[in-house]
């Protein structure tokens, strides 16, 4: 079991050799991620509709998720704690803060806005990512016009799907 998890960990955490185009690995991972988020939302919708409040559900979901991922990848965390400089953890901590701001404020906005307004607003976050990437990490992530046009079409499409 540990060998299987170890192999999975190798693939998942970036030790893949340079045989494959990194960009395609990234896009494939992003599609798998969308499948995970998209299918998870079905279970989430059932819980918040029938059983408990949205913030409570999210809090427990994050806790369970943290325990699961820690159980699978605690060795990577151990290695990173030993090898990474302290300042490297600052953006990592802010990643958690920004993600939780996203979730919490999304739920709070849903209480006050109809879905046809909140869904397109929140669904536009890829455009925010593009703008922030262009401003702050231009050296790490080069943004092209094709990506911008593609993201705009995805956001408009998601707006239609959310309204429909």
Partner 1 sequence: MSYLDGVILAIISTVGFGATAVLAQSGMQHVKPASITIISLVVGSIIVFIVAFILEMDELTSISIIALLFILLNAVLSYPIGRLFNFIGVKYAGASRASSVIGIAPLITTGLAVWLTDEKLTFTILIGTILILIGITLILSDRPIRTTINNFNDDNQRNIVD
Q: Using the rule CB under 8 A, is 158 a contact of partner 1?
A: yes
Exposure string of 102-121, with b = 16+ CB inside 10 Å and e = fewer, is eeeebbeebeeeeeeebbbe
Q: Please say which residue, 7 or 33, places its beta carbon nearer to partner 1.
A: 33
Q: How far is the CB of 18 from partner 1 (least distance, A)?
A: 10
Q: How far is CA 106 from the centre of its chain?
A: 14
Q: Using the rule CB under 8 A, is 116 a contact of partner 1?
A: no
Q: How many CB atoms lie within 10 A of CB 54?
A: 19
Residue ranges in 31-60 that form contacts with partner 1 under rule CB under 8 A = 31-47, 51-53, 55-60
Q: Using the rule CB under 8 A, is 6 a contact of partner 1?
A: no
Q: Per-residue contact track with partner 1, 124 to 153, x per CB under 8 A? A: xxxxxxxxxxx-xx-xxxxxx-xxxxxxxx
């Amino acid at each position: 079991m540990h060998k299987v998890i170890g192999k999975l960990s190798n693939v998942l955490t970036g030790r893949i050799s340079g045989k494959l185009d990194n960009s395609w690995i990234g896009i494939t991972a992003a599609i798998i991620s969308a499948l995970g988020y998209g299918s998870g939302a079905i279970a989430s919708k059932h819980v918040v509709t029938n059983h408990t409040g949205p913030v409570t559900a999210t809090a427990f979901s994050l806790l369970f998720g943290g325990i699961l991922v820690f159980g699978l990848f605690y060795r990577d965390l151990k290695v990173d704690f030993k090898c990474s400089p302290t300042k490297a953890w600052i953006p990592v901590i802010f990643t958690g803060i920004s993600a939780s701001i996203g979730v919490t404020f999304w739920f709070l906005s849903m209480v006050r806005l109809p879905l046809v307004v909140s869904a397109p607003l929140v669904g536009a976050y890829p455009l925010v990512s593009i703008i922030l990437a262009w401003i702050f990490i231009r050296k790490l992530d080069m943004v092209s016009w094709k990506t911008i046009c593609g993201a705009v079409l995805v956001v408009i499409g998601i707006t239609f799907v959310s309204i429909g």
